[in-house]
Amino acid sequence: MKKFFTLIILSFAAAFAYAQTNVGFGIKAGLSSSGIKGDASSSLSNLLDYTKGMVTTKNRTGYFAGAYANIPVSKNIQVEPGIYYTQKGYEMDGELNIKGLSFLGANAKAQLQSQYLDMPLLLKVSLDGLQLFAGPQFSYLLNSKLHTTAGALGINFVNSYVDATSQFNKWDASVTAGIGYNITKQINISASYDYGLSKIDANKSLSAYNRGFKAGVAISF
């Protein structure tokens, strides 16, 4: 895996050397829908217990925002490095026993709220306004919190935040790919999917990976 990413980075570095001088810059922001695939529930085993009842998981909806550079390699090919603040995580509903609390909630909810810096390095192909892009992405975990709530009859008996940063690796590696379209010369819309390749739990003993969608609007300068 390390050799694979090294080869990609070296290839992009060579492209930079031959790139034209008219480098463009821009900003991008939009919505993210992220989840943890694999042993999602077990990744928080030090903070939550699970009963034998039903526990369901779903993606967490958040947002991302950041900036990028657009480096032309040829008429239809560009290299685009970027850096984005991205909200990730996932949600759990069901019978959760919150450690340190005696309350057992049949309708408890727990949301993992993770904040990352995503740093993609994309190869883009442009065809009459339509764009296809793909490349590696490295992510750095800023912090992660577990927000738990539980209650009945509209009353919250539990509403707490627990620092979960130590449960996860600081660095994550993934492959991202997507499609975009230039509405004007300065405005672009895009959608992409991030496929995590690195185990995110701190001990790397669980098969838990970040996965998610992004949809956003970019403005070029």
* pLDDT digit string, tens, across residues 29-57: 999 999 988 765 555 555 555 444 455 67
**Could you give the CA distance from residue 201 to residue 193 in angstroms, rounded to a whole number?**
21
Task: Average the pLDDT over each of 6-15, 117-126, 129-138, 160-169 and give the range with the smallest value.
Answer: 6-15
Token pair for 210: 């970040």
Q: Say what percent of the chain tops pLDDT 90.
A: 49
In DSSP terms, which residues pair with 133 in a beta bridge? Answer: 124, 178
Report the DSSP pairing between strands 48-72 and 104-127.
unpaired
**Could you give the CA distance from residue 172 to residue 54 in angstroms, rounded to a whole number?**
30
Domains and CATH numbers, the chain: 2-220 (2.40.160.20)
* pLDDT digit string, tens, across residues 101-110: 444 455 677 8
Q: Give the residue, 124 or 74, on which the prediction is more confident.
A: 124
Say if residues 167 and 47 touch (Cβ distance below 8 Å): yes
